[in-house]
Chain A
Amino acid sequence: MTDRITITKTKTTTKAEAATPLPAAEQLKRDSRFLRGTIAQGLADRSTGAISEDDNKLMKFHGSYQQDNRDIRDERRRQKLEPDYSFMVRVRLPGGVLSPQQWLDLDDLASRYGNAGLRITTRQTFQIHGVRKEDMRDLMHGINTTGLSTLAACGDVVRTFVCSVNPQISSGHAKVYDWSWQLMEHLAPRTSAYRELWIDRLEQTTDGASDAEPLLGPTYLPRKFKIGFAIPPYNDVDIFAQDLGLIAILDADNQLQGFNVAVGGGMGSTASDPSTYPRLGDVIGFVPPEHLLQTCWHLVAVQRDFGNRQERKHARLKYTIDSHGGLAWFRDELQSRLPFAIEPPRPYQFTHNGDRFGWIEGDDGRWHLTLRIPSGRLLDVPGHTRQTGMREIARIHRGDLRMTGNQNAVIANVATEDKAAIEALVRQHGLDDHESASGLRLNAISCVALPTCGLAMAEAERYLPHIVTQLEQLMARHGLQDEAIHLRISGCHNGCARPFGGEIGLIGRAVGKYDLRIGADHIGERLNTIYRENINEASILAALDELFARFVAERHSGERFGDFVVRSGIVTPPERRPALVY
């Protein structure tokens, strides 16, 4: 019965769509023979380190895209050499969980083929930068050999899944993590192009005649689709920033009852374009576990059918909802495709969207150590041999490892008798920042930005250490050195470091210039508000200097900075649903 409904909907939409010619981006997907394009030929072309623009769009679906070293762009042009092209490869890693052996394999691959260690992302996975085109096949093959993948890590698909690392409720985490794997496989692309290119490494791909995409269709989704799982009370994945957020509801015995379904979150906007905006998701209902896969399948199908394919900057689910009649419309459309009723949401509460550092004991007596990795960058620097240190830990560790949504690393499931050995390595390799760093420093996150990201307007990762030091000094002058303010820096308005959810958010506008946004909470349920636009560092510090002074003078006992600036009326929080729809 469900299948019949799906087919009917698709036919109706296709008829309507047939009247409008497909935009180039959509036609490219349709003509690509399920994501093959001319990638194989492009990889073989030794006259350039690049692949074609079209192939690059398709390459994203395989988990990679082409970048160049922007620091030396001008120099290369003067030398009449093409840009210093390389590829970024992103691992598909639901819930950020991997085994010590997988860690060692990835570390080895990154050392051989990448140029900057491993980079933990804000969605709990790894990126490897600086990969030469000639090495792409070997790297991708190597990642798959270790039991991981890069499929659908980028592109117009359901992306890698996030899942609270939740050290405490170990059995709960295990169950929810298992569901995240099942759902990932249920919604994944089916094309055999991935196998042809990276596992079998065929010199020429086939015509894909036997491929089909029952859910995604030959044009896949209109845009990226991010799904996450959260286990209250910890919102370290920023569940409401996902297109689809699944909030695990556990009963008093920590048994999984089901999931609240939140839809329509998404960072990302175009600066100075009010028809684009960040949005937090809204909870529309609850489903028991046995209905999870079916519900999500049809939910993604609604976005597939109704998402805007004419204008990519209005294609995310948040715009689909807002432009069609809001949550009621969406809920009705989804319900009409399901053979069971979506139940009313169940109560839940989140208390924090940062990470909790140090050792925490799980409910099964095993231990979890959350380590601070600044900007998620695993590289050896003087005093902090983080990449080597994690490798050494992986060599002796008998549990698992988890990346967090705040770019940190958890050594998970450590037996009590193994703690000392791990602690020793942590100290030896300077992985113990969490023991001495300020609250500001511990919770600051940033995207990669320069030199590799082609979209960056300003520095983020490379700027973070400096600006944090400046802010620490400023805060110390106000006696706020222990205040754990959440600072998020993104190089542009695409918002990959979720800057719209920072108590202080900095968003790059131009070299050395940022938008300053303030007033988000520390739970992930309120976005921040623009405070100053396009200002330099001196102005940022001056503005915060004034704000900190007021904060100290007027705050309620225990009140957080983000909450204070809202309560005191310094900024008005954004509307939960933006008034401006198109």
Chain B
Amino acid sequence: FIEPNERFRLPQDSSSDIIMVGPGTGIAPFRAFVQQRQADGASGRNWLFFGNPHRHSDFLYQTEWQNALQEGALTRLDLAFSRDQAEKIYVQQRLREQGAELWQWLEGGAYLYVCGDAQHMAADVQQALLDVAEQHGGLSPESAADWLKGLQLQGRYLRDVY
């Protein structure tokens, strides 16, 4: 069933950076986000984290993302194809790997969007964000949790999970 999510919207200020975490079907709204930002001529940067089992068959909208990267409509793309190697790799691992850069973007005012599976992915991604805040922001676990809550209250940590 489709339910509206009023707050899951692009930033009003198009010069803000956006970080999109959308493995699996969670990629859906981000297609529109990137197309809209390109159409608006937004100056903010766009960073997408995507994951699925196999790159060869499950890289949803692959050619569109490749074009977007070439045209600059997408600034960064990080991928996790869980079954393409012996060990399973998911988007949260990529978030941790890119932790330093991720922290920079967030400290600079970036908006963070998470879309997709509620049962496992959402919690794992949230934990990864807390870990990034601790490791790259030098925060204690309690402060990291406060920081994330603050992000939420500011309307800069938005989720559409199901």
A complexed with B: yes
- Of A79-87, A283-291, A517-525, A527-535, the segment with at least 4 beta carbons within 8 Å of chain B is A79-87
Contact between chains at B66 and A47 (CB < 8 Å): yes
* Closest beta carbon of chain A to B144's beta carbon, Å: 30
* Closest beta carbon of chain A to B22's beta carbon, Å: 15
Contact between chains at B79 and A81 (CB < 8 Å): no
Contact between chains at A46 and B63 (CB < 8 Å): no
- Check if A49 is an interface residue, CB within 8 A of chain B: yes
Render B57-82 as a binary contact track against A, CB cut-off 8 A, 1 for contact: 10111111110000000000101010
Contact between chains at A46 and B84 (CB < 8 Å): yes
Closest residue of A by beta carbon distance from B81: A46
Interface residues of A in 118-170 (CB under 8 A from B): 132, 134
In whole angstroms, what is the CA distance A80 to B57 when docked?
10
- Check if A9 is an interface residue, CB within 8 A of chain B: no
Contact between chains at B62 and A81 (CB < 8 Å): yes
**Residues from chain A with Cβ under 8 Å of B84 in the complex:** 46, 134
Contact between chains at B57 and A81 (CB < 8 Å): yes
**Residues from chain B with Cβ under 8 Å of A206 in the complex:** none
Closest residue of A by beta carbon distance from B78: A47
Interface residues of A in 43-84 (CB under 8 A from B): 46-49, 77, 80-82, 84
Contact between chains at B79 and A82 (CB < 8 Å): no
* Closest beta carbon of chain A to B24's beta carbon, Å: 16
B-side interface residues, number (CB < 8 Å): 16
**Residues from chain B with Cβ under 8 Å of A132 in the complex:** 56
In whole angstroms, what is the CA distance A139 to B56 when docked?
19
In whole angstroms, what is the CA distance A84 to B54 when docked?
13
Contact between chains at A48 and B66 (CB < 8 Å): yes
- Check if B55 is an interface residue, CB within 8 A of chain A: yes
**Residues from chain A with Cβ under 8 Å of B81 in the complex:** 46
Contact between chains at B55 and A49 (CB < 8 Å): yes
- Chain A interface size, as a band, is 10 to 19
Interface residues of B in 25-45 (CB under 8 A from A): none
* Closest beta carbon of chain A to B157's beta carbon, Å: 26
In whole angstroms, what is the CA distance A49 to B63 when docked?
12
* Closest beta carbon of chain A to B17's beta carbon, Å: 21
Contact between chains at B64 and A80 (CB < 8 Å): yes
Q: Given contacts A80-B63, A81-B63, is CB(A49)–CB(B56) below 8 Å?
A: yes
* Closest beta carbon of chain B to A451's beta carbon, Å: 16
Contact between chains at B66 and A82 (CB < 8 Å): yes
In whole angstroms, what is the CA distance A327 to B66 when docked?
51
**Residues from chain A with Cβ under 8 Å of B79 in the complex:** 46-47
Interface residues of B in 75-99 (CB under 8 A from A): 77, 79, 81, 84-85
Most buried by A among B60, B61, B62, B84: B62
Q: Given contacts A46-B84, A48-B66, is CB(A80)–CB(B61) below 8 Å?
A: yes
Contact between chains at B62 and A46 (CB < 8 Å): no
In whole angstroms, what is the CA distance A82 to B64 when docked?
9
* Closest beta carbon of chain A to B30's beta carbon, Å: 14
**Residues from chain B with Cβ under 8 Å of A48 in the complex:** 55, 62, 66
**Residues from chain B with Cβ under 8 Å of A77 in the complex:** 63
**Residues from chain A with Cβ under 8 Å of B62 in the complex:** 48, 80-82
In whole angstroms, what is the CA distance A77 to B67 when docked?
13
In whole angstroms, what is the CA distance A398 to B66 when docked?
52
**Residues from chain B with Cβ under 8 Å of A46 in the complex:** 55, 79, 81, 84
In whole angstroms, what is the CA distance A385 to B66 when docked?
42
* Closest beta carbon of chain B to A72's beta carbon, Å: 11
Most buried by A among B56, B65, B79: B56
Render A15-43 as a binary contact track against B, CB cut-off 8 A, 1 for contact: 00000000000000000000000000000
Interface residues of A in 70-110 (CB under 8 A from B): 77, 80-82, 84
In whole angstroms, what is the CA distance A82 to B61 when docked?
9
**Residues from chain B with Cβ under 8 Å of A47 in the complex:** 55, 59, 65-66, 77, 79
Closest residue of A by beta carbon distance from B69: A47
**Residues from chain A with Cβ under 8 Å of B85 in the complex:** 134
* Closest beta carbon of chain A to B34's beta carbon, Å: 14
**Residues from chain A with Cβ under 8 Å of B55 in the complex:** 46-49
**Residues from chain A with Cβ under 8 Å of B57 in the complex:** 81
In whole angstroms, what is the CA distance A84 to B55 when docked?
11
Contact between chains at A82 and B77 (CB < 8 Å): no
**Residues from chain B with Cβ under 8 Å of A84 in the complex:** 56
Closest residue of B by beta carbon distance from A45: B79
* Closest beta carbon of chain A to B135's beta carbon, Å: 24
Closest residue of B by beta carbon distance from A46: B79
* Closest beta carbon of chain B to A20's beta carbon, Å: 32
Closest residue of B by beta carbon distance from A86: B56
In whole angstroms, what is the CA distance A81 to B55 when docked?
10
**Residues from chain A with Cβ under 8 Å of B77 in the complex:** 47
Closest residue of A by beta carbon distance from B56: A49
In whole angstroms, what is the CA distance A46 to B60 when docked?
14
Closest residue of B by beta carbon distance from A81: B62
**Residues from chain B with Cβ under 8 Å of A134 in the complex:** 84-85
Most buried by B among A46, A77, A134: A46
* Closest beta carbon of chain A to B125's beta carbon, Å: 20
In whole angstroms, what is the CA distance A82 to B58 when docked?
11
In whole angstroms, what is the CA distance A80 to B58 when docked?
11
In whole angstroms, what is the CA distance A81 to B52 when docked?
14
In whole angstroms, what is the CA distance A134 to B83 when docked?
12
In whole angstroms, what is the CA distance A58 to B55 when docked?
25
In whole angstroms, what is the CA distance A46 to B62 when docked?
12
In whole angstroms, what is the CA distance A189 to B155 when docked?
61
In whole angstroms, what is the CA distance A49 to B61 when docked?
15
Render A278-301 as a binary contact track against B, CB cut-off 8 A, 1 for contact: 000000000000000000000000
**Residues from chain A with Cβ under 8 Å of B56 in the complex:** 49, 84, 132
In whole angstroms, what is the CA distance A329 to B149 when docked?
83
Most buried by B among A77, A82, A84, A132: A82
* Closest beta carbon of chain B to A216's beta carbon, Å: 35
Render A549-570 as a binary contact track against B, CB cut-off 8 A, 1 for contact: 0000000000000000000000
In whole angstroms, what is the CA distance A131 to B36 when docked?
38
* Closest beta carbon of chain A to B85's beta carbon, Å: 8
A sample of 12 cross-chain residue pairs with beta-carbon separation below 8 angstroms, ordered by A number, consists of A46-B55, A46-B81, A47-B55, A47-B59, A47-B77, A49-B55, A77-B63, A80-B60, A81-B59, A81-B62, A82-B63, A134-B84
Contacts A46-B79, A47-B55, A82-B62 known; 15 new A-B pairs at CB < 8 A: A46-B84, A47-B59, A48-B55, A48-B66, A77-B63, A80-B61, A80-B62, A80-B63, A81-B59, A81-B62, A81-B63, A82-B63, A82-B66, A84-B56, A132-B56
Pairs A-B, 9 closest by C-beta atoms: A80-B61, A81-B62, A80-B63, A82-B62, A47-B79, A82-B63, A80-B64, A46-B79, A80-B62
